[in-house]
């Protein structure tokens, strides 16, 4: 567990459990209601399963967890903590294989990260938080304001560049995003940047024209470095629940997603969607966002997350 404290004096565990409170409250509240002073019978197990489905864990996972809870415990009384422990253990098993740090390969100069996702999912904010984290590690970061649709998008990224000390390459509104990514990569090379992060405009996963623009950004950067981009991060907003599933499917097809970041886990009771995604796609989950602040992004840790959504300490 990362126990570093931020400006508000909270350590990471406090921020994580605080951020996931709505998800854990809905799950653990329901668990408490169900198991208190009751024997574990078929009806209770079914209700537990429904609770997990409502928290967006996915039908398969909910079934598996319910079966694990039921095993050897029929017609016995169980405690709330027993059930939470089994839930956390099962969820951790699903999450452990996908919890992978974003490794900045040392042989890529710069290491290029393309950030994609639907409108408002948290891309630009995540880039700011990530730039801060990389800068703290002593890396030289350049940002590309590849969202050229809105002037405000460039301004937003500029503010993050000032806060984090990252360089920024920006164009005029309406400029060609792929051209800007090309220039960005050229400049980052000249300046000896370690990491280049390319912001993109939000796009709906079902809009073919915009999706093909991502493909163009990738193709153009490959002209300078055939191995770029070295990471394609799909930023998902946890509050959308099940819609995240189709976002992963579509962006994986067009943009070759290499890893996920899930944001806004603090604003939803549907944090279980991360578990459903892990079970379905097995794509690495690198970071989670639990707030708007610069410190509210952390490497994804399976055990911490599993215990937090189960409402354990
Ligand atoms: N509560 C919370 N808010 C977040 C988090 N991440 C981002 N946000 C907020 O979500 C809103 C949208 O974030 P942006 O980073 O602008 O999203 P975007 O994907 O770049 O949006 P577009 O560029 O319009 O596609 C902003 O108000 C952010 O502060 C998070 O982890 N928690
Ligand atoms: Mg943006």
pLDDT tens-place values along the chain, 313 residues long:
444 454 455 677 888 888 889 889 989 888 888 888 678 889 989 999 999 998 899 999 999 999 999 998 888 888 999 999 999 999 999 999 999 999 999 999 999 999 999 999 999 999 999 999 999 999 999 999 999 988 899 999 999 999 999 999 999 888 899 999 999 999 999 999 999 999 999 887 667 777 788 999 999 999 999 999 999 999 999 999 889 999 999 999 888 999 999 999 988 888 999 999 999 999 999 999 999 999 899 899 999 999 999 999 7
pLDDT at 225 (0 to 100): 97
Lining residues, ligand 1, CB within 6 Å: 117, 119-125, 147, 153, 202, 263-264, 266-267, 289-292, 296
Atom of ligand 1 nearest to the CA of 297: 31
pLDDT at 151 (0 to 100): 84
Residue 297 CA, ligand 1 centroid: distance in Å: 12
Smallest-distance ligand from the CA of 235:
1
What are the structural domain ranges in the chain? 12-95, 111-301
Give the Cα separation of 269 and 238 in Å (integer).
9
Atom of ligand 1 nearest to the CA of 120: 21
Pocket test for ligand 1, best of 120, 121, 238 (most atoms within 8 A of CB): 120
Which pTM was predicted? 0.93
Give the Cα separation of 62 and 53 in Å (integer).
6
> Is the alpha carbon torsion for 155, 153, 147, 162 positive or negative?
positive
Residue 56 CA, ligand 2 centroid: distance in Å: 26
Residue 44 CA, ligand 1 centroid: distance in Å: 39
Atom of ligand 1 nearest to the CA of 125: 15
Atom of ligand 1 nearest to the CA of 121: 19
Would you call 108 exposed, middle or buried from its count of C-beta atoms within 10 A (0-12, 13-18, 19+)? middle
Residue 153 CA, ligand 2 centroid: distance in Å: 6
Left (φ > 0), alpha (ψ -120 to 50) or beta: where does 232 sit? beta
pLDDT at 8 (0 to 100): 52
What superfamily in CATH does domain 12-95 come from?
SRP54, nucleotide-binding domain (1.20.120.140)
pLDDT at 154 (0 to 100): 94
The top-level CATH class assigned to 111-301 is alpha beta
């Amino acid at each position: 567990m990362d126990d570093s404290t931020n400006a508000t004096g909270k350590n990471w565990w406090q921020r994580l459990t605080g951020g996931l409170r709505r998800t854990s409250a809905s799950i653990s509240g329901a668990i408490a209601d169900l198991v208190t002073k009751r024997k574990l019978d078929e009806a209770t197990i079914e209700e537990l399963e429904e609770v997990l489905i409502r928290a967006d864990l996915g039908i398969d996972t909910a079934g598996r967890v319910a079966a694990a809870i039921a095993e050897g415990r029929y017609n016995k009384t169980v405690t709330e903590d027993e059930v939470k422990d089994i839930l956390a253990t099962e969820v951790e098993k699903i999450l452990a294989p996908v919890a992978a740090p974003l490794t900045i390969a040392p042989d890529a100069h710069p290491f290029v990260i393309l950030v994609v996702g639907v409108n408002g999912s948290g891309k630009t904010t995540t880039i700011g938080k990530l730039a801060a984290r990389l800068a703290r590690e002593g890396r030289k970061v350049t940002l590309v304001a590849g969202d050229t649709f809105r002037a405000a998008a460039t301004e937003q990224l500029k503010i993050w560049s000032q806060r984090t000390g990252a360089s920024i390459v920006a164009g005029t509104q309406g400029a060609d995003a792929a051209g800007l990514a090309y220039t960005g990569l050229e400049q980052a090379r000249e300046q000896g940047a370690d990491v280049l992060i390319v912001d993109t405009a939000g796009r709906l996963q079902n809009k073919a024209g915009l999706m093909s623009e991502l493909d163009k950004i990738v193709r153009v950067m490959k002209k300078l470095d055939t191995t770029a981009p070295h990471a394609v991060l799909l930023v998902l907003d946890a509050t959308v629940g099940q819609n995240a599933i189709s976002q992963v499917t579509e962006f994986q097809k067009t943009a070759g997603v290499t890893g996920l970041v899930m944001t806004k886990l603090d604003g939803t009771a549907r944090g279980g969607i991360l578990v459903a995604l892990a079970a379905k796609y097995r794509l690495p989950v690198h970071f989670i966002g639990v707030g708007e602040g610069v410190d509210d992004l952390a490497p994804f840790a399976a055990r911490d997350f599993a215990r937090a959504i189960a409402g354990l300490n």
